[in-house]
Amino acid sequence: MTFRKRCEALRMILTGSICVRPGSVYDAVSIRIAEDLGFELGMFGGSVASLAVLGDPDITLITLTELAEQMRRMSRAASLPVLVDADHGYGNAMNVRRTVEELATAGAAGLSIEDTLLPQAFGQPGTQLIPLEEGVGKMKAAVDARGDASVVIMARTGAASISGLDDAIARAVAYEGTGVDALFLTGIKSHAELEAIAAATKLPLVLGGFPEADCDYLANQRVRIALQSHAPFAAATHAVYETLKALRDGTSPKNLKGLASSELTGRVTREADVKARSAEFLGLKR
């Protein structure tokens, strides 16, 4: 699937009538698994990017280059459309332009730019937001950087849990006027808050961190994508820890539990395709 078709697949989700829950992906293997399981969309979160690439918590230490390169690795491995959490765009509005350019050429189907003040300011506890005017400038820069490309741009705000619902609505309405394709909301804690923002806006909505809610209800509120955490990375971390601990404690490799079968490993490494190419191009027997 070409990069443009991946963008078009994401756009079809946004213009559809149902709510999709994406699979959390972070490397070549995880995106292939999500694709094989039939997920319509992958979500590459900033927190799992930091964990997968650096082994660091989500405090904006990862760079744009590292994020884009990891996205490029995933794009090579699978055709699943991926939405990337691009944090604050790695700087001001001019940096946002480059962020869009880099992620688009790395194969991202879409990306979100948020209005959080990042990295955290000196001496300022808690999460802070940039001024609304600066946020509008960032969203305009993101749309401008896209040019005639089909990559999806989402304006993200967590204002509902930081500065209140009224500010969240004001920011959503302002960002909607910049030409972005969707609004990405975090910090929504109730149906009433979601319904108020949905009533004040027109664009498709994306939700992160919302309490468990029925997909039919979310779809009726114009929510087209609802995240469901980054559990796969946590599960993988636990599995690696338990396996290494068992080996360190003296367990024989043949007695280890929970390992991927050779059949599953062959599928996620696309072993059959590799063998077919080796036979055709290297003259090797299959």
Determine whether the annotation assigns residue 156 to a binding site. Answer: yes
Distance, in Å, from the CA atom of 117 to the CA atom of 281, rounded to the nearest integer, reads 52
Structure tokens at 226: 């609802």
Distance, in Å, from the CA atom of 69 to the CA atom of 74, rounded to the nearest integer, reads 9
Determine whether the annotation assigns residue 47 to a binding site. Answer: yes
Distance, in Å, from the CA atom of 213 to the CA atom of 98, rounded to the nearest integer, reads 36
- Computed over its alpha carbons, how large is the radius of gyration of the chain? 20
In 187-273 the beta strands, taken as DSSP E runs, fall at 205-208, 223-226
Exposed, middle or buried by CB within 10 Å (0-12, 13-18, 19+), for 105? middle
Distance, in Å, from the CA atom of 137 to the CA atom of 127, rounded to the nearest integer, reads 20
Identify the residue whose tokens are 């599953």: 264
Contacts of 75 (CB under 8 A, 6+ apart): 3, 82, 106, 107, 108
Alpha helices in 106-206 (DSSP H): 132-146, 165-176, 191-200
Residues of each annotated binding site for Mg(2+) = 85
Residues of each annotated binding site = 47, 85, 156, 230
